[in-house]
Structure 1
Amino acid sequence: MADNERIPTVIADEAHIIYKVHQAGASSSSPLASFKRLATRSKNSNIREVHAVKGVSFVAYKGEAIGLIGTNGSGKSTLLRAVAGLLPVSRGAIYASGQPSLLGVNAALMNELPGDRNVELGCLAMGMSPDEVRAKKDEIIEFSGINDKGDFATLPMRTYSSGMSARLRFSIAAAKQHDVLLIDEALATGDAKFRRRSEARVRELRAQAGTVFLVSHSEQSIRDTCERCIWLEAGTIRADGPTDEVMKEYEAFARR
């Protein structure tokens, strides 16, 4: 795709994300204390503001797979949730084409229902028709590998390991073409065979002109699936560019 044909899918314009955290301590959480705060318009001392993302700006384009890297607490998952519309932007703005899909959120899975029924509900929740669901159901279950060690597709999801649940969520989300697909650590689950399948599927989604954001602590997954990388540290962008270049900077930082 030539530069003059590049179509933006996500634009972050000096985006700040600030959320509130309730800290331990019951003295100021009683009804009387709450009433006094309302009367005096004072703040609850047990509530702390966290400035998780600080003035982040970037443009993502159709056909890109973008890795988000950074140490724990750097703001990666918070940024993904804001792109998906699940967290408000406190200052600045984030614009997206269509409805970005955060892996595992759009697939409304229910622990008491069996895996195969959750596949149907998850696909319907993503806007597939009943005919599309019937056509893709067996393929999704096979891709997830949940039946590799028994007929788990007919068992309630509460019997699944966290890895099995994550693999099923990925398989459901990846069965549909998304304008913007946001993946948070899903490729770290399962064995090497599943990781290869899921990484190949991410490449297919890119080829179909979708945009994929991938958060992963697996540097190899980022290198294998993403041609561009954004490095977040303490809520700010330290680097944004070709994956090999940004990963080298990040690895040198991590070795300090």
Structure 2
Amino acid sequence: MVDDLHIVYRIYGAGTGRGNATAALARLLLRKGSPNVHTVHAVRGVTFTAYRGEAIGIIGSNGSGKSTLLKAIAGLLPADRGKVYTEGQPSLLGVNAALMNDLTGATNVLLGGLAMGMSQQEVRERYQGIVDFSGINEHGDFVSLPMRTYSSGMAARLRFSIAAAKNHDVLMIDEALATGDRAFQKRSEERIRELRREAGTVFLVSHNNTSIRDTCDRVLWIEQGELLMDGPTEEVVRAYEDAGGK
């Protein structure tokens, strides 16, 4: 449950120039009294309740506060006002399955699985399924190469595959389905449906309205940090498109 949530970013020392390290430290220590503070009210009084088994899309224009909302639900950003209540552990794709560029894909599968709470035995049992799902080995033995050799799309697919290998109480996915070809998107959408059937709750942020329609049964439309509409997928997406959203 998200109850009257407000997220405010504060940028200290705005307009003072780069300066040196000593000046930067001084601004940090004295920031409460600094007049050079720029605030961004990224989320403004958002309230909704999500239920087990739901797949909820979050749509809106660039900079509308969608990703900020996910980070707040995951516990990565403190609320300026309001509350977030979750039952179980929220997992934000791309954070819990963080990847390290100097390590191989195989090592990242192990570390990513352990970071999400899987045992070594569970990771070993699911390892080949993760690699196959990601498709990174379709054109060579990339899983044995350092992550720095991967394209951004390959890295994103591996992140999704690691995160999706575990059942989650609450799984939040930010633009994951925008990567890869249509075949990978289809696999991702089916995995999201499986997670829902296993009584998890899924949030999906995407600019791809087709993915939202194919995956979600409910949509939140956010603009300038405010919740404009919350309802059935087709109803909300059609209203968003009629307003010029793509």
Please say whether Structure 1 and Structure 2 have the same fold, judged by a TM-score greater than 0.5. yes
For 1:133 and 1:50, the matched residues in 2 are separated by 41
The residue that corresponds to 1:136 in the other structure is 126
Alignment partner of 2:3 out of 9, 13, 16: 13
Amino acid paired to 1:196:
K
Q: CA deviation at 1:27?
A: 7.0
Asked if the contact 1:28/1:44 (under 8 Å) is kept, the reply is no
For 2:40 and 2:106, the matched residues in 1 are separated by 40
Q: Which runs of 5+ in 1 are unaligned?
A: 1-10
The residue that corresponds to 1:79 in the other structure is 69
- The alignment's C-alpha RMSD in Å is 2.1
The residue that corresponds to 2:168 in the other structure is 178
For 2:143 and 2:31, the matched residues in 1 are separated by 56
Partner of 2:64, secondary structure, is coil
For 1:81 and 1:189, the matched residues in 2 are separated by 20
Percent identity over paired residues: 61
The residue that corresponds to 1:7 in the other structure is none
Residue-pair matches, total: 244
For 2:126 and 2:24, the matched residues in 1 are separated by 55
The residue that corresponds to 1:117 in the other structure is 107
Amino acid paired to 1:124:
L
Residues 30/61 of structure 1: CA separation in 2 closer, same or farther (3 Å cut): same
Residues 252/43 of structure 1: CA separation in 2 closer, same or farther (3 Å cut): same
More displaced, 198-207 or 106-115?
A: 106-115
TM-score, scaled to structure 2: 0.93
The residue that corresponds to 1:201 in the other structure is 191
The residue that corresponds to 1:234 in the other structure is 224
Q: CA deviation at 1:74?
A: 0.6
Q: CA deviation at 1:26?
A: 1.8
Residues 40/112 of structure 1: CA separation in 2 closer, same or farther (3 Å cut): closer
More displaced, 16-25 or 239-248?
A: 16-25
Q: CA deviation at 1:131?
A: 1.3
Q: CA deviation at 1:98?
A: 1.6
Q: Which runs of 5+ in 2 are unaligned?
A: none
Amino acid paired to 1:54:
R
- Could you list the per-position Cα deviations for residues 143-176 of structure 1 after superposition, in whole angstroms to 9, with x for gaps in the alignment? 0000011100000001000000000000000000
